[in-house]
Amino acid sequence: MKGCSKKKIAILGGGVGAITAAFELTNSPELREKHDITLYQLGWRLGGKGASGRRKVDGDVERIEEHGLHIFMGCYENAFRMMRECYKELDRPEGTPLRTVREAFKPHSFNYAEQLYKGEWTRWELNFPETRNAAGEVVMPGNTNHLPGAITYLKRIFQWLSQGITSAHEQITAAQNKKHHLGPIAKLVEHFKETHLGLISYIDEIIETKQSPSLHQTIHDRLKAMQQHLQQEVATLDDIEIELYRLILSLDFTIANLIGIFRYDLFFNKFETINHLNYIDFLRECGGWEEMINSPMVLNLYELAFAYKGGRASGVDSSPDLEAGTILSGFPHIMLGYTGAFMWKMQSSMGDTIFAPLYELLKRRGVKFKFFHKIKKLHVSGDQISKIDIEQQVNLKNEAYDPLMPIHVKGYTQPFPTWPSQPLYEQIENSHEIEKHNLESFYTTWKGTGEITLEAGEDFDQVVLGISIGSFPYICEELGQTNSKWADMVANIETVQTQAAQFWLKPSFSDLGVPGEGVVVACFTATQLDTWADMSDLLPDEGWPESEVKSLGYFTGPMVGPSQAPPSDQTDFPAEMEKQRDQVIDQLIADRLTQLWPNYTGKAEIVSQYRRCNIDPSERYVLSAVGTSKYRLKSGESGFSNLILAGDWTDTRLNMGAVEGATVSGMQASKAICGYPEHIVLPSETLL
């Protein structure tokens, strides 16, 4: 960069990581004076794996079509901070839907898991506590400068253990015809009380002295004794009531994890030191009860991370694969470190809640958006990206493409900016030729209208690569040929294709026999669509007449398929996967919905449906498979002097596919370029 000229930054891709980098690089007038940013995006919309669109169904109905089920967790401090700042600065006029961040997100705390118990499926309900401010509002994340320390989480867990053991004792004491069990359970309670007090004091001493290996062994041994007492006691029970059974599973789960913390000395060793273990093997190694390991408590973690290599065909032939250190680091943060509410539901699509306001704000800040620009190849010279080949997909009638489609939502005076499910063809030349092709598909036969090449030093000074890692075998070959660490990352970080379904139904979910409102459910059966959520609160936003549609359900899950997306010349691959997807969804409708919705009477109750499979390289979900995090590169350590990385596939400490991980990566990308933001909220790498 010469003199006072702005640094030219080319951002490739428009997912969360890329958009966050653009947000942070322009997050003050001073930064905007330093950076000239152009973002290149395939097709007509931003969002990456979080992109969504609106499709006119009938009359005033503009239904939302998502890539899948997206919900913000209450621990997403960085993502919420960005969205709070975005909505505040954007300052939409009165009468606009989602005018404020409070209107855009609503707290959600009631969920349940499907559990097989004594041959029948039952609901394991979970209602997470909420925290409110003086005005009675649930406290919103995004205003925290640092997370509670892992030690704080550990002490909370020990306190819960104390309450849980006492509760188990009380339940068995109160049960009829169980008197012969009271002696052993009473001994367990007394043993735990003594152990619990000792453990808390030992932990305090460890914090004080910073190293006490003998104390670690003492705590480990006491936990093992506690575990043996509990499991021996369970073995004496002929018949366990389900609530007590779930409590015992929870206790065993907690104790096994605590044993692992002390066995592997995670007070001082980084969590990544146990990433050579699959989490379920870690629990077995720590003496966990097999029924606990196969319970929703553990399987739900695998579902959360789509952690099945090659997809999940059934509970028998699936391959659950999840790094122990990654989940052990993140799980307490998710369960105990949330702010206000456990989950926060977006009050429109992810595209319209997240990416539309971010697009409007970034455009106002001076970021230039080049839609319909398909990245074909990154070229290397020495330790730099020298050129970028891009396919120009269409010719526009005007200089720039205006991607948002204003719709009118009942009860609001101002139009609502939304993303359409198809390009706005009136802005495109010769659109009749293009309408037959999917310009977002890796497998499209459309060849575009021309090629352009960006040159280092002329068109860009630095590149932010925000495209997901599944695309790298096809656009970054030269990087792997030049840099062995890059080659190792691409070869070892695994991805899986996913699928989703949305059902609009005549009856309400309460009429269908579903408890609570807006429930989010994890199910564990032989299906590839094993998680669903009640998203009925979006119906007014879509414009459905209440007499016609009363409920909306979203389903998602991993999809069986190849470990890597096939090359683009295999143009029959999408049709094959769509056929497979339809078989899965048809089976769900025929066999499963009555299990989930007891009063469901058949397909006739489904008014409309949307089916999707995410099979393109950049759409595939990034896995946290055993032993792979060590191959992830940090945002500022790509191995190339002018290349910065942004996406949930980078090393962020939150090495799971999630909005928060991608947000952190985008922040780290900005920091690598300009030093801002100075502070990023992250969990610790060890317990201390």
CA separation for the pair 494, 321 (Å, rounded): 11
Per-residue confidence (pLDDT) for residue 569, from 0 to 100: 97
pTM: 0.94
Selection from 682, 686, 544, 565 nearest residue 619 by Cα? 565
CA separation for the pair 423, 39 (Å, rounded): 18
Question: Other CB atoms closer than 10 Å to residue 59's CB: what's the count?
Answer: 10
Per-residue confidence (pLDDT) for residue 22, from 0 to 100: 98
521, pLDDT greater than 60: yes
Residue 156 vs residue 277, higher pLDDT: 277
Note whether 616 and 441 are within 8 A (CB).
yes
518 vs 51, 75, 117, CA distance in Å?
A: 22, 20, 25
Portion of the chain with pLDDT greater than 70, in percent: 88
User: Using the 8-state DSSP alphabet, how is residue 75 labeled?
Assistant: T
Q: Hunting for tokens 């719709």 — which residue is that?
A: 407
Per-residue confidence (pLDDT) for residue 244, from 0 to 100: 78
194, pLDDT greater than 50: yes
Note whether 403 and 44 are within 8 A (CB).
yes
Domains (range + CATH), the chain = 7-53+347-493+634-674 (3.50.50.60), 150-336 (no CATH)
Tens-place pLDDT, residues 347-375? 999 999 999 999 999 999 999 999 999 99
Note whether 52 and 505 are within 8 A (CB).
no
pLDDT band at 125 (very low <50, low <70, confident <90, very high): confident
Selection from 249, 251, 296, 253 nearest residue 124 by Cα? 296
Per-residue confidence (pLDDT) for residue 181, from 0 to 100: 46
Q: Which of 418-422, 535-539, 588-592, 609-613 has the lowest mean pLDDT?
A: 588-592
Residues 6+ apart with CB under 8 A from 396: 372, 427, 428, 429
Q: Which of 42-56, 203-217, 403-417 has the lowest mean pLDDT?
A: 203-217
Q: Which of 214-223, 276-285, 577-586 has the lowest mean pLDDT?
A: 214-223
Per-residue confidence (pLDDT) for residue 260, from 0 to 100: 92
Please spell the DSSP secondary structure of 465-497, one letter per residue. Answer: E-S-GGGHHHH-HHHHHH-HHHHHHHHH--EE-
Please spell the DSSP secondary structure of 130-190, one letter per residue. Answer: --B-TTSPBPPSS--SSPPPHHHHHHHHHHHHHHHHHHHHHHHHHSTT-GGGHHHHHHHHH
Residue 111: enclosing H or E segment and its boundaries?
strand 110-117
186, pLDDT greater than 90: no
Per-residue confidence (pLDDT) for residue 268, from 0 to 100: 78
Mean pLDDT across the stretch 366-387? 98
202, pLDDT greater than 50: yes
235, pLDDT greater than 90: no
174 vs 63, 177, 182, 234, 498, CA distance in Å?
A: 52, 9, 10, 17, 47
Q: Which of 317-326, 582-591, 621-630 has the lowest mean pLDDT?
A: 317-326
221, pLDDT greater than 60: yes
Q: Which of 53-67, 303-317, 365-379 has the lowest mean pLDDT?
A: 303-317
Please spell the DSSP secondary structure of 273-302, one letter per residue. Answer: GGTTSBHHHHHHHTT--HHHHTSHHHHHHH
Note whether 140 and 104 are within 8 A (CB).
no
Q: Which of 123-127, 152-156, 340-344 has the lowest mean pLDDT?
A: 152-156
**Averaged confidence pLDDT in the chain:** 89
45, pLDDT greater than 60: yes
Note whether 639 and 676 are within 8 A (CB).
no
Tens-place pLDDT, residues 140-158? 999 987 777 666 777 667 6
Tens-place pLDDT, residues 77-101? 999 999 999 999 999 999 999 999 9
Note whether 440 and 15 are within 8 A (CB).
no
Residue 246 vs residue 526, higher pLDDT: 246
And the tokens for 437? 């092709």
How much is the CA Rg of the chain, to the nearest whole Å?
A: 26
Q: Hunting for tokens 């495109």 — which residue is that?
A: 428
Tens-place pLDDT, residues 447-464? 999 999 999 999 999 999
